[in-house]
Amino acid sequence: MEAVSKLDVEAIRADFPILQRRIGDKPLAYLDSAATSQKPVQVVDAMRRFTDHSNANISRSVHTLGAEATEAYEGARARVAAFIGAPSADEVVFTKNSTEAINLLAYAFQNAALDPHADPRFRLAPGDEIVVTEMEHHANLIPWQQLALRTGATLKWIGITDHGRLDLEAVPEVITERTKLVSFTHVANLLGTVNPTSQITARAREVGALVGLDASQSVPHIPVNVADLGVDFIAFTGHKMLGPTGIGVLWAKADLLDAMPPFLTGGSMIKTVTMEKTTFAEAPAKFEAGTPPIAEAVGLAAAVDYLDALGMENVRAHEKELAGYMLERLESVDGLTVIGPRVPIGRGATVSFTFADIHPHDVGQILDAEGIAVRVGHHCAKPTCDRFGVNATTRASGYVYNTHEEIDRLVAALAQVRKVFG
Amino acid sequence: MDLDELYQEVILDHYKRPRGAGLREPYEGESHQVNPTCGDEITLRVHVKGDRVADVSYENVGCSISKASASVLYELVHDTTVDDALARLAEFTELMNSKGQSDGDEETLEDAVAFAGVSKYPMRVKCALLGWMAFKDALVRAEAETGGSRP
């Protein structure tokens, strides 16, 4: 492991005041960024500046503040579009989070199923198939289960190999002429696997299915370019990429957004309204009913600026190196079993593991007493847990601000866990 | 964080050597409870004879707190009257909701007072209560099964 981090981690850490916190008398080692990342001062400052200086509702008022707020919000949209290589800012829909973005898409299908004039690409009926994978976060599973239940479509999935990779050999039989949508995770939140996309998208194209990507764990960590990926939709969330909570993104190709019925209806998403009927605004406004998270959009744009300044290639290199160190050190712990890929290739710096027969809750509690924050439980991926025959795992996840020293502290604290429960 | 307070010897002992574990016949009421945040599970049976809890049997997967709590529950409520068992349930629930403000009555709660420290950890209170929720539910089912003959 001689790979060198491309990031100046000490300088980065200085931008995150929370990393100076102590838990009891121990310095915090934050290894839970896959759940939510911390925010640099640049993000908090941008939101504060907006709130203190330009706060107003958007697209409504002619006053100066209203114009500034609209400009800030739409500027954030353009900033996010550029970050993911979207050809147009109008293809970026702001949502509450990834879960809402995926539900927005699922409800487009559901609403289309009720409308005989809807675009046939979105019309599901019994016999049609929706394909996911066994390694989905519940956010990219349950909306499709529900949609299948309500439309009579069939939900199918691509399995996981023992090494924690997608069983790509099964792709040709799982994705068939009946498949209308394939929605799968780009980077698995429990396993840390970075899924290769080309084989799945090629097969989906072959059968004429739409392709969606749950990019919640990829956009924060690796360069993501929607044009290169050749998919139709991606969903991701601000709070996992140094931004605030309360804002997420659905990106979709313009012609698909045009064809999709809206999910939420109400203010700001209309063209004309009478007591009898309404015509909708063009996308993205069509999907942004009500007052959106304006300050949060400003914060997300600042987070994107921060990541761009670091360079996403550098972020990827840093995390690849970190993943290698985590795997090497964790696997040296007696009784510890990594759940997911065991080599730092095609995976991120999110490492789940079981430790002897000690329950992850107990592991997490002792680690917390040492100042180390990890996630324990099923990580909203129960089917993945079932696949590996475990109820829960302990998950350490790294990001731009994590160091080798923090991994060393994690490993040392596991000896403490062993002492209490061994 | 005072870990010794959370993981008292008594708790670790019940965790490592659970009392009354395993599912047994006969039983009138059975309950299956899960903690959705961590996936912990328990299946618990209650055998009621007249006004007595003749047996409580269970199978569970979970953390040390949830497993030790089920073991302590068994010790406290098996072979006692239903009324006493319900009183212990109320007492233990109150202790768990005390946010560290109560020590619990050792006369009645016995080993269960070791869980007083758990009440300071909101994320763990649910673990400690999982078995007790199953007991409460199983008892209701047992009474429904036996026609609620208790006065």
Residue A261: pLDDT above 80?
yes
Mean pLDDT over residues A300-327, rounded? Answer: 97
Which of A35, A380, A390, A411 is catalytic? The answer is A380
How much is the pLDDT for A327? 98
The answer on pLDDT for B5 being more than 90 is no
Report CB contact under 8 Å: B38, A361.
yes
User: Half-sphere exposure (CA, 13 Å, Cβ side) for B33?
Assistant: 23
- CA B35/CA B66 separation, integer angstroms: 10
What integer pLDDT is reported at residue A289 of this predicted model?
A: 97
Residue B1 pLDDT more than 70? no
Those residues whose C-beta lies under 8 Å from the C-beta of residue A192, and which sit 6 or more positions away, are: A164, A323, A340, A341, A347, A348, A349, A350, A351, A352, A397
Q: Is the pLDDT of residue A2 over 50?
A: no
- Name the amino acid, one letter, at A175: I
Which of residues A5 and A85 earns the better pLDDT score? A85
Tokens encoding A213: 């990507």
Q: Is A385 a catalytic residue?
A: no
Quick one: pLDDT at residue B150?
Answer: 52
pTM, two decimal places:
0.93
Confidence at residue A62, expressed as pLDDT on a 0 to 100 scale = 87
Structure tokens at A348: 């991120």
pLDDT, mean of residues B103-114: 90
- Residues from chain A that touch B65, judged by Cβ atoms under 8 A, are 361-362
A219-225: average pLDDT: 98
From-to residues of CATH 3.40.640.10 in chain A: 45-308
Q: What is the pLDDT of residues A149-182, one digit of tens each?
A: 999 999 999 999 999 999 999 999 999 999 999 9
For residues B123 and A182, give the distance between their C-alpha atoms in angstroms, rounded to a whole number. 37
In order of their start, the domains of chain B are 3-144 (3.90.1010.10)
- Per-chain mean pLDDT for chain B: 91
- What is the mean pLDDT of the segment spanning B34-54? 91
Cβ–Cβ of A359/B62 closer than 8 Å? yes
Q: Do A360 and B63 touch (CB under 8 A)?
A: yes
Mean pLDDT lowest among A3-7, A147-151, A403-407: A3-7
Q: Topology of A9-40+311-421 in CATH?
A: Aspartate Aminotransferase, domain 1 (3.90.1150)
Residues of chain B contacting A378 with CB distance shorter than 8 Å: 38-39
Q: What is the pLDDT of residue A6?
A: 81
Contact A359/B121, CB-based, under 8 Å?
no
Mutation target vs A (from B3, B34, B127; most A CBs, 10 A cutoff): B3
Q: Judging by DSSP bridges, how do beta strands A129-133 and A154-158 pair with one another?
A: parallel
The string of pLDDT tens digits covering residues A184-210 is 999 999 999 999 999 999 999 999 999
pLDDT in tens, B116-134: 999 998 889 999 999 999 9
CA distance A357 to chain B (A): 10
Rounded Cα distance, A312 and A82, in Å: 13
* pLDDT for the residue B145: 85
Does residue A388 belong to the interface with chain B, where contact is any CB pair within 8 Å?
no
Answer whether residue B151 shows pLDDT above 50: no
Is A362 in contact with B64 (Cβ distance < 8 A)?
Answer: yes
Spatial separation of the C-alpha atoms in residues B81 and B144, rounded to whole Å = 17
Q: What share of chain A is helix, strand, coil (3-state, %, to 5)?
A: 45, 20, 40
pLDDT of residue A361: 93
Structure tokens at A266: 């109400």
Q: Which two tokens stand for residue A267?
A: 């203010």
Residues of chain A with C-beta less than 8 angstroms from the C-beta of B63? 359-362
CB atoms within 10 A of CB A68: 16
pLDDT bin (cut points 50, 70, 90) of residue A5 is: low
Is the preceding omega at residue A262 within 30 degrees of 0, hence cis? no
At residue A59, the pLDDT reads 79
CA closest to B38 among chain A residues = A377
Torsion angle, alpha carbons of A123, A127, A131, A134, to 10: 140
Is the confidence at residue B57, as pLDDT, over 70?
Answer: yes
- The rounded distance, in Å, linking the Cα atoms of A344 and A130 is 31
Phi, psi of A354 (to 5 degrees): -110, 155
Mean pLDDT of B81-101: 95
Q: In CATH, what is the architecture of A45-308?
A: 3-Layer(aba) Sandwich (3.40)
Query: Which tokens sit at B68?
Result: 């030790």
Q: Which two tokens stand for residue A223?
A: 């360069």
**B62 interaction partners in chain A (CB closer than 8 Å):** 359, 361, 391
Q: What is the ipTM of this complex?
A: 0.84
pLDDT category at B8 given cuts 50, 70, 90 is confident
Using a CB-CB cut-off of 8 Å, the residues of chain A touching B1 are 23-24, 368-369
Give yes or no for residue B2 having a pLDDT over 80.
Answer: no
**Amino acid letter, A179:** T
Q: Are B88 and B134 in contact (CB under 8 A)?
A: no
Q: CB–CB of A177/A166 below 8 Å?
A: no
Interatomic CA distance for residues A248 and A300, integer angstroms: 9
Delimit the CATH 3.90.1150.10 region(s) of chain A: 9-40+311-421
- B7 and A24 in contact by Cβ < 8 A? no
Residues, chain A:
422
